[in-house]
Structure 1
Amino acid sequence: MKNFELFLNHTGISIFYVKVGLGFLSSFLITFFSIPTIIKISKRKNLMDEPGVRSSHLRKIPNLGGIAMFYSIGICTSIFAYEIFDLYKFLFASLIILLYVGIMDDIVVMRAYKKLVAQIVVSAFIVIGSDVRIRNLFGIFGVYEIHYWVSVIFSIITFIILINAFNLIDGIDGLAGGYSLICSALFGISYFRLGAYNFPLVILSVVLIGSVLAFLYYNLSNYRATKIFMGDTGSMLLGFLLAFTCICFIDIFIDKQLVNVPRYHLKSAPVIAVAILILPIVDTLNVILVRFWNKKSPFEADKNHIHHKLLKLDLTHRRSSFYIISYYLFIIIITYYLRHINVNLLLFIVLALGFSGAYIPDIIYVSKNNKLKSNN
């Protein structure tokens, strides 16, 4: 790869743009051509997702699409953004652990506490081992720089919440994948605008986009023979990597006095990160609050997720995913244009709009039923 970089420098071609193009194309193709084999093996060995309480599908569907995503991301990131594994030495080990836990859960269904232990381990690896953590809240609730161990605990909890949040929104076709696509694109653009030092993270984002796009081709397929889910393997992988890119994004705006590295300052950086990941955050918090309100266990399966509410309105999976992603993309746009206002006010606006989106389907459903009753 280094000889290839020297060759491109001599020809005057930017190595970064070549890496972006090849990273995207390679990631897309590896995932695209790996999934049919995974589908074939899944059907032959009966490694299928069975319809259950949380499920919104009626037939058995292969659920190991996350393996193909890991395969392409692991290969392409190692080749085109190898600097990431130098900077964050525990990253690849964390991905391997998540792959193992995800496959085990997709095949034999692991107990919740075992998954939680694994998530704590990988989060500790990346937070303590690679020092990827939330160090500063930029004045949110009057908090600025955070004490090291408070920062470590807070960051580990953040990783765990986001890993599980992406798992929870993966309930209908296209939602988790489509939203991951948006998040990766927004973080990638942000890293690109913030300078060359962040280019490896740009390439990681592009690799994620390529892999998820190829997965969505099969996930949104109308043909049962080619349909697949990402499973826990895919949702945990995406949740972890997007939590990683999110925290790295916040970290960019902290003055760590690194030599020859330009630093930036944007007080609303944590709120912008929350806005980008607003859907899984709001959906998870809302479901947990509803379960507590109904005096149920927060781990008990139900159909109170936003996508379940839209399905009650007789919308298809595709339309439900489109409406949800469009609404939460609207929140991100609003946040961007208001990014220079008071950080606490901005956080309030983001959360208010986020939770409103969780209850708009309920309002429509009640209004629809009242209209039917009045007509009868």
Structure 2
Amino acid sequence: MREYLLTILVAALVAYLLTPAVRRFAVWFGAQAAPRDRDVHVIPTPRLGGLAMFGGMAAALVVATGLPEMRKVLAGGDVNVGKALLLSGGLIVLVGIADDRWGVDPLTKFAGQVAAAGIFIMQGIQLYVIPLPNGESLSLPPTYGVPLTVLIVVATINAVNFIDGLDGLAAGTVGIAATALFFYAYLLTKTNGLTTLTGATLTAAVLVGMCAGFLPHNFNPARIFMGDTGSMLIGLLLSASTILLTGQFDPAILGSYPLFPLWVPLLLVPAVAAVPFLDMLLAVWRRTNDGRSPFSPDKRHLHHRLLELGHSHRRAVLIMYFWVGLLAAGLVALALTNQQAIVISITAVVAVAGVVLMLGMPRRAARRAAAREAAGPSERPRESV
């Protein structure tokens, strides 16, 4: 665990320290996001934050090669995790830089994402088995494993890209998902007496550090955006950890768990993206119903509605963190415990409390503001001279 913590710390520290330099470079390079009608920021904001995150990833992998146990993870087996992350991450960052600066058509971005998935496959990061409900695993020949791997990579990258709508939302959400994957893999291996040193756990740890280091610069009011450079990169690493975890455990070893521990890696990303994905489906239905293109922008997304309810920008992001964290924690807890009824009950109670607070906080704030206005200047506390 100490080597994992050191890897997380290095990724976070380097990403944090590099971000101001990347911000200055983005301004000089002309990679800035001009405000649009549907945006919540009102001044031009530099992009390319993903460059600092890539630097954090590279630094963490370099340090990991010098750690005695992490060196075994990076060099052992048929999967070259470090080389795969650096090569595919470098490619996706180049595509992101071009998009953040000049704009790239969707087909070119899709080709870059597929190429990054191809690098994963060449380095051994591929979906080889799929767990079945009966506790066994279905081996996948390359005819099926390769396209499914590409699908997972591309879908995860674009799911993260869709989340990136508020300051700090994508970095925080993916950080929560990576933390859940890290503890899931670590606890499952530790409990069953297996080695905790795996490529999946290392990838999740690096991703946690990258997001944690960048988030202070990106939280509202954001001084820099990660851009497609960052959103595609962290989506890529999230897909890598997911694929590496799937099929890592022998179903016979995990027979004591009544629910889907083998399915957690594949279910976690859809669970994390469930709220924004539902928002996307509602947006398509809404625009089509209004006779407009499904891709026409508007200001009726979930985060816009939270702002309209009276939540501040920061509180809206924290609400999204809450729901993502609740879904991720509930899913991992269900897979790692035999007390499913207790987990479901606690999750339901917390969810109800979250809904009450989400709806009630703006109303209480509005009542307090109205009371202060009604009190008038004579009844307000005097300022000290």
Counterparts in 2 of 1:227-238, with a 5 A limit? 227-238=223-234
TM-score normalised over the length of structure 2: 0.73
Change in CA separation of 1:278 and 1:303 when aligned onto 2, cut-off 3 Å: farther
- The alpha carbon displacement at 1:187 in A equals 1.4
- Corresponding residue for 2:260? 268
Bigger Cα displacement from structure 2, 25-34 vs 159-168: 25-34
Distance 2:148 2:156 in 1: 12
- The alpha carbon displacement at 1:248 in A equals 1.8
Over aligned residue pairs, what C-alpha RMSD do you find? Answer: 3.7
Distance 2:286 2:118 in 1: 32
Percent of aligned pairs with the same residue?
Answer: 24
The one of 174, 186, 194 equivalent to 1:192 is 186
Confirm or deny: 8 A CA contact 2:185 2:201 kept in the other structure.
yes
Change in CA separation of 1:319 and 1:103 when aligned onto 2, cut-off 3 Å: same
Confirm or deny: 8 A CA contact 1:20 1:206 kept in the other structure.
yes
Confirm or deny: 8 A CA contact 2:287 2:294 kept in the other structure.
no
Distance 1:147 1:87 in 2: 17
The one of 306, 325, 328 equivalent to 1:329 is 325
The one of 71, 74, 91 equivalent to 1:84 is 74
Secondary structure, aligned partner of 1:251 = coil
Distance 1:293 1:132 in 2: 37
Residue 217 (structure 1) aligned with residue 216 (structure 2): yes
Q: Which runs of 5+ in 2 are unaligned?
A: 65-69, 364-385
- The alpha carbon displacement at 1:37 in A equals 1.2
Residue 57 (structure 1) aligned with residue 53 (structure 2): no
Report the residue type matching 1:87 in the other structure: V
Distance 1:75 1:316 in 2: 35
Q: Which runs of 5+ in 1 are unaligned?
A: 1-15, 256-261, 369-376
Distance 2:246 2:145 in 1: 13
- Corresponding residue for 1:126? 120
Distance 1:303 1:250 in 2: 38
Counterparts in 2 of 1:295-374, with a 5 A limit? 295=288, 299-339=295-335
Residue 108 (structure 1) aligned with residue 107 (structure 2): no
- Corresponding residue for 1:11? none
- The alpha carbon displacement at 1:210 in A equals 2.4
- The alpha carbon displacement at 1:31 in A equals 1.4
The one of 135, 141, 144 equivalent to 1:150 is 144
- Corresponding residue for 1:177? 171
Confirm or deny: 8 A CA contact 1:138 1:268 kept in the other structure.
no
Bigger Cα displacement from structure 2, 34-43 vs 21-30: 21-30
Distance 1:323 1:240 in 2: 25
Residue 22 (structure 1) aligned with residue 6 (structure 2): yes
Secondary structure, aligned partner of 1:136 = strand
Distance 1:276 1:147 in 2: 21
Bigger Cα displacement from structure 2, 279-288 vs 142-151: 142-151
Secondary structure, aligned partner of 2:335 = coil
Residue by residue over 1:249-269, the C-alpha shift from the partner in whole angstroms, topping out at 9 and shown as x without a partner, is: 2222346xxxxxx96456513
Distance 2:99 2:207 in 1: 22
Distance 2:335 2:234 in 1: 26
Confirm or deny: 8 A CA contact 1:62 1:228 kept in the other structure.
yes
Bigger Cα displacement from structure 2, 158-167 vs 241-250: 241-250
Confirm or deny: 8 A CA contact 2:181 2:204 kept in the other structure.
yes
Change in CA separation of 1:26 and 1:333 when aligned onto 2, cut-off 3 Å: closer
Greater radius of gyration (CA): 2
- The alpha carbon displacement at 1:51 in A equals 1.6
Bigger Cα displacement from structure 2, 106-115 vs 187-196: 187-196
Secondary structure, aligned partner of 1:58 = coil
TM-score normalised over the length of structure 1: 0.75
The one of 10, 33, 57 equivalent to 1:73 is 57
Bigger Cα displacement from structure 2, 321-330 vs 96-105: 321-330
Distance 2:272 2:84 in 1: 28
Secondary structure, aligned partner of 1:145 = strand
Distance 2:119 2:179 in 1: 26
Change in CA separation of 1:306 and 1:263 when aligned onto 2, cut-off 3 Å: farther
Secondary structure, aligned partner of 2:133 = strand
Distance 1:131 1:203 in 2: 14
Residue by residue over 1:124-161, the C-alpha shift from the partner in whole angstroms, topping out at 9 and shown as x without a partner, is: 33246514216214229x99626422333223212111
Report the residue type matching 1:27 in the other structure: A
Confirm or deny: 8 A CA contact 1:84 1:201 kept in the other structure.
no
Confirm or deny: 8 A CA contact 1:26 1:76 kept in the other structure.
yes
- The alpha carbon displacement at 1:230 in A equals 0.9
Residue 160 (structure 1) aligned with residue 154 (structure 2): yes
Confirm or deny: 8 A CA contact 1:191 1:198 kept in the other structure.
no
Residue by residue over 1:24-48, the C-alpha shift from the partner in whole angstroms, topping out at 9 and shown as x without a partner, is: 3322221122111112222234321
